[in-house]
Every structure is written in C-alpha cells, then in structure tokens.
Structure 1
Amino acid sequence: MSPALSAQWPLHPLKGVPRAPDGKPNLAAPAPRTADGKPDFSGLWMRSDDPGPNGAAAGRPPLVRGGNAGAGFKDGLPFQPWAAQLQKKRFAEEGLNDPDGLCLPQGPLQYHIDPQPFEIIQTPRQLVYISESNYGLRKVYLDGRSLPPPGQVVPYWHGYSVGRWDGDTLVVESNNFHGVDPNNVNAAGLPSSYLGAGWLDHRGSPYTEAMKLTERFRRVNYGLLDIELTVDDPKAYTEPFTVRVVERIVADGSEMIEFVCHENQTFLKLTGRERK
C-alpha cells in the first residue's frame, strides 16, 4: 500500500500512475523509465520499515532500523575508539545536538530514514533530492564530472555528489562533507551549530570530513526504491560498512509542505548551549 501524507495541501491526482483493475495504484508495476531508457527515480518518497519482497535475500546489507545504522550488525558499527565514545555521549544526551533539533541540515543517512517525505527530481544532467525535513536540498551531478579531491572544495553539509549508471543502478559517490573534527569533538571555540555536524544517524554515530559515501539507488518496481549506503571513513571507523534503506512511493497526489525551521536562541539559553 502506498503511504499517504496528512492532508495539508489539496490532492492533485498524479498522471501516469499504473492502476490495478480495481483502480488503485499498482505499486508492483515495472519501474518507469526516462526517454533515454534509464530508470526514473522521480517522485515523492517516504521511509518504509517493511523490507519489501526482497528484504530477506541472503547477502543483502542489513536494514537501518530505529534510526540506528548499526542495528543490523551483531557487534554494532566498527567505530574508532574516539568515535565510539562520542556516539555514547550523544546517545546519552538523547539527541540534544542532533542537527534536526538544531534546525540544521541532517546527515546523509538521516534524510533517508527520517519520517518526513522527500522528493526526487531527475534530469539527464542531475538528480535533485529535496527533503521536507529542514527543507534539505541536495544535488547529484550526472554530467560525467569526477569527484573533487578531498579538501579541494568547501565542505558541504550534504557533501559533493556525482552519479554514474551501472546497468539499472545509479551509483552516487559523495565526499567533502562537513563532519566532526576528531581533535575537537566538543567544538571548543566554535559556534554551537558545530555540535550538529557529522551525525550519520539519530543515535549520533559520527563521521568526519574524510568520509566517502557510496549510495546505490535501485528502483525495484513502481512503488519501491532500494538504497544501499557504504560508509568509508577511516578516521571514524576501522573499516567500511554498508547498510540499506527502503523507500515507498507516495502515489495519492500528496505534496510536501513548506518546512521552515529556525534555531531559537531562547531554546539555546534554556539548554545551556548559548555561546558568547
């Protein structure tokens, strides 16, 4: 069943939605394709906790559950010692500095697992990812450019992303993230917003500016989007690891609402985080 959003805008029936004999959206229909024959990821999507028909296949990466990237690993994520300590501190503080609560851009995995919807707009030259949460905007360049070397561009909250096709799978590589400084995890001498940098998930698993993220987008059918994410950050983790998220199409004509989040300085005072 396609998820629906709370009615805050008038519904406008979508064109081109495949229908079953009963008139309902046929989410198992083949994935749509663009004019050049590539899978079309365009649409409004929401996180799905249901792994879908291929969720139990052997050899697949574990699903992210409960906002925890390490939920599917027996021994958790392969943290470096400092990163393990920081994650425990963040979790003990119950997400006090989670960027979502600070009205800051979320981490690259957080956007995939957030309960708010996101929209993908796909063109031959780029894929635009718009999240309702904190009105996040991310671009993936599909024009053949290469990733800039680490440190060559100003760090981005969402990283610098380029994509290439591997059959029907879109492989997206990203680097130059705005991450945690392992030598200053408490952001001493910096604005409090720096405490919201480098949150991979809602448990506070950190990443640094050295992270390279590889995502593999695969539209299984009309209604299901499967994304594998490989995190390679030797400063924060002892080895790369891969997790998986599942998204389901919103096919009832719902639209995202405007989400304007402003960091309230009174809130910072009340929580003792205002910096002079």
Structure 2
Amino acid sequence: MPDGKPDMRGAWNNPTTSGSQNIEDYPGDGFLNPARTLIVDPPDGKIPYQPRWATKKQENLQQYIDPFGTCYPPGVPRHVYSPRGHHILQSPGVFAIVSEATHVYRIIPTDGSPHIGNDIRLYMGDSRGRWEGSTLVVDTTNLTDRTWLDIVGDFHSDALHVVERFTLLDADTIFYETTLVDANVFTRPWTMAFPLVRMEKGHEVMEEACFEGDHDIPHLLGAFKIYLGLHSPR
C-alpha cells in the first residue's frame, strides 16, 4: 500500500465456516455438520463460562431462534467466520470488510479516532483499528447482547470487548486471531484463531436477500422466540 502497510485488498473466505454452527468441537447430527473447535485458548477448546451461566446455552437453543438465522447481523467476531465470502477494501486511514452474508459490512477507521459513546449499543459494535507492524489490530466495543457466537446458542453480554488481529502471512493467506473479554459471562479472556484464504481472482460478493419476501417465516419460527439479549424473557 502507499502508506507502507500490507495490502489485504481482495476477496477472502475461511475454510472453517462450520464455526458459525458451533465454535466448539461437535460430532455432528442430522442437522449440523461435524465441527472442530476454533478455540485455541483455553487449551481444551471450550468457552470458559461462569458457573451461573452453565445452563444458559442449552436454554437458548431450546427456546430461541438464532438471531443470525433470521437475518439480523451476526455481530463480532462471528461476522468473520460466518459462511460465504468477504471483500476487504483498504486505504490509508480506513479498513473495510464487506460480506455476502446478510449484507453485513464494517468500516474500521485506522486514523486514531476514538470509540463512540459508551451508552450506544450496535449489532456490529464500534471498531477501531491500528497497525502493529504488519498486523492490523481491531478493537471492537459497544456491542449489543442480542447476537450469538454460533447457531447453538453460545452467548455474551453487552460488555463484550473483542480484539482481532489480521496478519498477512503471504499473498493468499491472512492469519486471523480474536480474543473475547466479557467479565459478565466468562471466567477469563479466550481466543479463537483460523486462516482466511484468498478467493479466486475476479470473485465478487453477491447480493443475498436472506428471507426477504419469504412468507413461510412464521411457520419456520414455530414455537421459537426472538432472542432479545442475555436476560430475554422465557
């Protein structure tokens, strides 16, 4: 790039899209495919939930429908390991990710500008980037608690703080690492990591209408309820 930063522009995807189904190890069943954990710390590959939340994930799965499955934005960091591709746009002072899934995009200033006010909560949060050598470090705050980390109900509070690291290893590979901190839900910070691989030359991010105009949605929802956050009514 003209400013001397690594050039990550182009179309990227990850070979671990099953992570959007379950970010922990999963043997698979009639609905979900087998999945390997994306979690590299703790070493057991498990989310370190506080004991008081021991049953919350299962309650989510039994009572609510995945917000991303009904076309709400996936949140951060699920955005990066969600299915389909991403297009990275980059210029001095800004780094942007445009995704095919649910038309999600992130505009990440890298100009040193501060986060927005703490009383604002957004599905994709508020991201600010900075360069540490050849690695882009993205700090995301202001997240709502109305998103899940995967389809099986893994969750967080609106205190979630996400730090992502994008490192260009070679022309076709970005190493992605993300650490999640949420003192309301987790016993300690924990980390996921996986590669992003460059897609074929000329790949374009397509428009995805999600469930737009689909009159079967009420039937698909059935007895499930919309998830309204960590303390959703039962």
Q: TM-score, normalised by structure 2?
A: 0.79
TM-superposition CA deviations, 1:120-169 (whole Å, max 9, x none): 11111211111100010111111111224532xx2111110001111111
For 1:89, what is the secondary structure of its paired residue? helix
Compute the displacement of 1:242 (Å).
1.0
Match runs of 1:85-164 below 5 Å: 85-92=55-62, 97-148=65-116, 150-151=118-119, 154-164=120-130
Matched, 1:176 2:127: no
Partner Cα distance (1:35, 1:225) in 2: 20
Contact map agreement 2:97 2:105 (CA 8 A) in 1: yes
Contact map agreement 2:20 2:82 (CA 8 A) in 1: no
Question: 1:80/1:140 Cα in 2 relative to 1: closer, same or farther (>3 Å)?
Answer: same
Match runs of 1:1-12 below 5 Å: none
**Which amino acid in the other structure matches residue 36 of structure 1?**
D
Partner Cα distance (1:273, 1:92) in 2: 8
Match runs of 1:192-207 below 5 Å: 197-207=146-156
Compute the displacement of 1:259 (Å).
0.8
Partner Cα distance (2:208, 2:224) in 1: 24
Match runs of 1:223-262 below 5 Å: 223-262=172-211
Partner Cα distance (1:204, 1:141) in 2: 31
Partner Cα distance (2:10, 2:84) in 1: 14
Contact map agreement 2:75 2:143 (CA 8 A) in 1: no
* Equivalent position to 2:23, from 69, 75, 78: 69
Residue in structure 2 matched with residue 48 of structure 1 by the alignment: 15
TM-superposition CA deviations, 1:55-102 (whole Å, max 9, x none): xxxxxxxxx957433424426211123443221223456xx5212211
Give the gaps of 5 or more residues in structure 2.
Answer: 25-36, 227-234
Question: 1:266/1:272 Cα in 2 relative to 1: closer, same or farther (>3 Å)?
Answer: farther
Question: 1:247/1:220 Cα in 2 relative to 1: closer, same or farther (>3 Å)?
Answer: same
Larger CA Rg, structure 1 vs 2? 1
For 1:239, what is the secondary structure of its paired residue? coil
Partner Cα distance (1:272, 1:36) in 2: 54
Matched, 1:78 2:27: no
More strand by share: 2
Q: TM-score, normalised by structure 1?
A: 0.68
For 1:207, what is the secondary structure of its paired residue? coil
Partner Cα distance (2:154, 2:167) in 1: 25
Question: Identity rate of aligned residues, in percent?
Answer: 28
Partner Cα distance (2:225, 2:56) in 1: 21
Once structures 1 and 2 are overlaid, which stretch shifts more, 120-129 or 78-87? 78-87
RMSD of aligned Cα (Å): 2.5
Residue in structure 2 matched with residue 59 of structure 1 by the alignment: none
For 1:220, what is the secondary structure of its paired residue? strand
Question: 1:75/1:164 Cα in 2 relative to 1: closer, same or farther (>3 Å)?
Answer: closer
Matched, 1:209 2:158: yes
Contact map agreement 1:107 1:158 (CA 8 A) in 2: yes
Partner Cα distance (1:135, 1:75) in 2: 30
Partner Cα distance (2:131, 2:113) in 1: 13
Residue in structure 1 matched with residue 3 of structure 2 by the alignment: 36
Contact map agreement 1:265 1:274 (CA 8 A) in 2: no
**Which amino acid in the other structure matches residue 251 of structure 1?**
E
**Which amino acid in the other structure matches residue 59 of structure 2?**
K
Matched, 1:268 2:184: no
